[in-house]
Structure 1
Amino acid sequence: MPVSSVASPLLLSLSASSSSFLSSSSVSFLPSSSSSPHASIATGRGKPAASILRALRAEATTLPVISFTGEKVGEVALDLKSAPPSTARAVVHRALITDRQNARRGTASTLTRGEVRGGGRKPYGQKKTGKARRGSTRTPLRPGGGVIFGPKPRDWSIKINRKEKRLAISTALASAAVANDSFVVQEFDEEFATGPRTRDFVAALQRWGLDPKEKAMFFSTELDDNVRLSGRNIGTLKMLTPRTLNLYDILDARKHFFTPAAIDYLNTRYGTTVFDEYEDDTDAEDDGEEEVAEEQEEAAQDETEEAETDSNS
């Protein structure tokens, strides 16, 4: 199935919002019921320039911490890097298209007229039949024949830079946090120590202010077996770990809730110091280019001096 047909409902929901995320010209990447179906989406192609990543900034957002019973017991800061307003939409769009396209198996295959079994004998004479000329019964113009320009196995995968993909995820999470669609729930593994109970999990979602009929994403560093079994039958709930965290589920969910350990993980992996290494590497690359240029100039001067010496001699 083409990527455009799979992800189009989600992509059309990436409309501009009036949240305070990424200054006044902010963008919300979460589904909105009031978004226009004809919203335009800018696409980003190629490797991001170093100036883009140097323009990143982190805006700390305070998320409420809720107990299992639904009472607010505190607050926690979520401090993530986010793309600048001019490139945020393009970065998220490119990462989403890459994820969806890389998920295609590319195993569709059809047979050409040369691969279909049979058709070796000429079905009837060339003339005196009143019919069209036929050289084979496996022509694409007849039933049972080959397929013209049919699909063949192919690799649909495309490349995206690791830091660009990480930036898209952190930008989407920061947008969800600023839009007040995220909160933190205290660890509740002990509540399901006696066994999995989906009914109790649904009741907990309602106490936390979530509608079981709306899509939600639960992110935890580790999922207890009973908790996982209790929530897997809820079709609108995605339960993710660091291994399964992906951009599509982040954008597809209307509400996001995390555990305290998950917040620490996000701040560590997508926080303020994530892209410092990239900036250092970029500076090192610039210095290396200058050194190479100097070496080339020195080599050219040496060759010129040698040529002059040979001519004089």
Structure 2
Amino acid sequence: MAASSAAASPSSIAFFSSSIFISTPTASSRLNCFFKSHNTKFPLRASVRSELATLPVLSFEGTQVGTATLDLKSAPAETARAVVHRGLTTDLTNRRRGTASTLTRAEVRGGGRKPYGQKKTGHARQGSRRTPLRPGGGVVFGPKPKDWSIKINKKEKQLAISTAISSAFENTIVIEDFDEKFEKPKTKEFIAMMKRLGLDPKEKSTFLMSEVSDNVKLSSRNIGTLKMLTPRTLNLFDILDAEKLVFTKGAVEFLNERYGFDYVEDEDDEYEEEAEEVNADEGTEAEGNSDSTE
């Protein structure tokens, strides 16, 4: 499969050309097309439909060895954008830790003694060193710890993920399991495999695998445009942020089983809980990096 010729902007979200996400020339216009006002009060009122897609299965050498069927739930065209938008904004909002905190003048140490006399100094009168007007004093209306998390129904979140994956079938390929092909970590070999699959290492790609071996993880971690996901780390943002999706055959079976019509909801869903924890940890790391750069 030939790689897409248009490279996405690093700070933009790439959307796939399909009946649900219509491609537009620039990244900014894609965002304007997607993030516009929708009636999200009843996003799931219409019936859920099945999105059936036949994908080519490639070998490690890049030759087609068969096909795979991806049969997932998909929201109707009139509500698909609203469902995916709600799922994405919920994930991004829940990554905010809300741990920023400042001290008010009542919490700053010191300031019990009047700094200097009331009169005959030539300065404005001061009653405490904790005043916000002095360096080291309290902060007026500063941030305090806050819970930014919002809730979303589990079925709606799953429908958002399956809808996004279903809409990307034109830019999706399936590859046979290749864990055993990497006997030792080698980034050059992983890049060569990507090129055989028709992937451009300079474009964003997302791999979904049942399990990621240590050699594969070490071989791919230095590729900045690549994301390696497992069922426990699958999230909506990385799906939408990729130009190409690559699934292993085991991942396709997981998607059909988990996001198909035959899926039976389990109250003790370990994948959902761990995915939320991973997203929260990523949000904490992102805030830590932003603080260190200021």
Q: Which range, TM-score by smaller chain?
A: 0.7 to 0.9
Partner of 1:302: none
Pick from 37, 46, 64: which aligns with 1:42?
A: 37
Specify which structure has the higher proportion of helix: 1
Work out whether 1:140 is the aligned partner of 2:132: yes
Equivalent position of 1:107 in the other structure: 99
Structure 2 match to 1:261: 250
Residue 27 of structure 1 is matched in structure 2 by: 21
Q: Percent identity?
A: 59
**C-alpha distance in 2 between matches for 1:275 and 1:167:** 14
- Separation in structure 1 between the aligned mates of residue 213 and residue 24 of structure 2, nearest angstrom: 29
The aligned residue for residue 184 of structure 2 is 195
Q: Give the gaps of 5 or more residues in structure 1.
A: 1-7, 278-313
Q: Which has the higher contact order (CA 8 A, sep 6+)?
A: 2
Q: Are positions 1:209 and 2:198 aligned together?
A: yes
The code of the aligned residue for 1:237 comes to L
Deviation, 1:49, is: 6.3
The answer on whether the counterparts of 1:63 and 1:183 sit within 8 Å (CA) in structure 2 is yes
Q: 1:31 to 1:222 in 2, by over 3 A?
A: farther
- What is the CA-CA distance between 1:18 and the residue it aligns to? 6.3
What are the residue-to-residue correspondences of 1:144-155 with 2, within 5 Å? Answer: 144-155=136-147
* Counterpart-to-counterpart distance in 2, 1:149 and 1:253: 40
**Number of the residue aligned with 1:157:** 149
Q: CA deviation at 1:74?
A: 1.4
**Are residue 246 (structure 1) and residue 235 (structure 2) matched?**
yes
Q: SS where residue 121 of structure 1 aligns?
A: coil
Contact 2:44 2:83 in 1 (8 A): no
TM-score between the two structures when normalised by the length of structure 1 = 0.74
SS at match of 1:106: coil
1:196–1:229 contact (8 Å) kept in structure 2 = yes
2:176 aligned with 1:186, yes or no?
A: yes
Look up the match of 1:228.
217
- Name stretches of at least 5 consecutive residues in structure 2 with no aligned partner: 1-9, 267-294
Q: CA 1:18 to 1:106, structure 2 compared with 1: closer, same or farther past 3 Å?
A: closer
Deviation string 1:205-249 (CA, Å, 9 cap, x unpaired) is: 001000111110000112222222211221111111100000010
> How do 1:296-311 and structure 2 match up within 5 A?
none
Q: Answer whether contact 1:44 1:93 (CA < 8 A) is retained.
A: no
Counterpart of 2:88 in structure 1 is 96
| Larger of the two Rg values belongs to structure | 1
The alpha-carbon deviation at position 42 of structure 1 amounts to 3.1
Q: Aligned letter for 1:223?
A: V
Task: Say if 1:44 and 1:91, in contact at 8 Å, map to a contact too.
Answer: no
Q: State how far apart, in whole Å, the 1-side matches of 2:106 and 2:116 are.
A: 19
TM-score for the superposition, normalised by structure 2: 0.79
- Conserved 8 A contact 2:209-2:231: yes
Off by >6 Å, runs of 4+ in structure 1: none
Q: Is the 8 A contact 2:96 2:148 kept in 1?
A: yes
Indicate conservation of the 8 Å contact 2:103/2:139, yes or no: yes
RMSD: 2.5
